[in-house]
Amino acid sequence: MNIGAASEASGISAKMIRYYESIGLITPAGRSASGYRRYSERDVHTLRFIRRARDLGFSMEQVADLLALWGDSGRQSQDVKALAQQHIDGLQQRIGELQSMVNTLNHLVSCCAGDQRPDCPILEDMAGLGRSCCEAGEGD
């Protein structure tokens, strides 16, 4: 199948397929006599694997590691599990960071009067002025 059909079958854009080839994540496709890329069902299966790994938030480096493990019939499942656990740990850290951002923004939004005045504790905080809403007499 051509790149358009492989793209449709895998859910990965043709541009991303070409990118994955250029960085060596996947083996470059064979070419037809007229020079068009040709993909097999196995290639599409690999592209679906990549898409699922990316949907789960694995980095490109981690996807490459997962592909190597997937292709290694002598692999140990503990290696796959360790990689997945490492990813979970990173996601948990990121969730904590995102929750901290949400908490900070919720506090700043509660401090902002949201009226016609130019005073804005949100912008003041971002500018590093460090005035809390309690000090400004604004908010709740």
| pLDDT range class, residue 130, cuts 50, 70, 90 | low
By the 10 Å C-beta count (0-12 exposed, 13-18 middle, 19+ buried), 61 is classed as exposed
**pLDDT for 140:** 45
Percent over 70 (pLDDT), the chain: 92
Sign of the torsion angle spanned by Cα atoms 23, 7, 91, 81: negative
> Does this model's pTM top 0.85?
no
The number of beta carbons lying within 10 Å of the beta carbon of residue 37 is 19
Domains, in order of start, for the chain: 1-57 (1.10.1660.10)
Which pLDDT score, from 0 to 100, does residue 131 have?
62
pLDDT at 136 over 50: no
Q: How does pLDDT run across 28-69, given as a tens digit for each residue?
A: 998 988 888 999 999 999 999 999 999 999 999 999 999 999
Beta-ladder partners of 101: none
Give yes or no for residue 138 having a pLDDT over 70. Answer: no
Mean pLDDT of the chain: 91
pLDDT digits (tens, 9 = 90+) for 1-14: 999 999 999 999 99
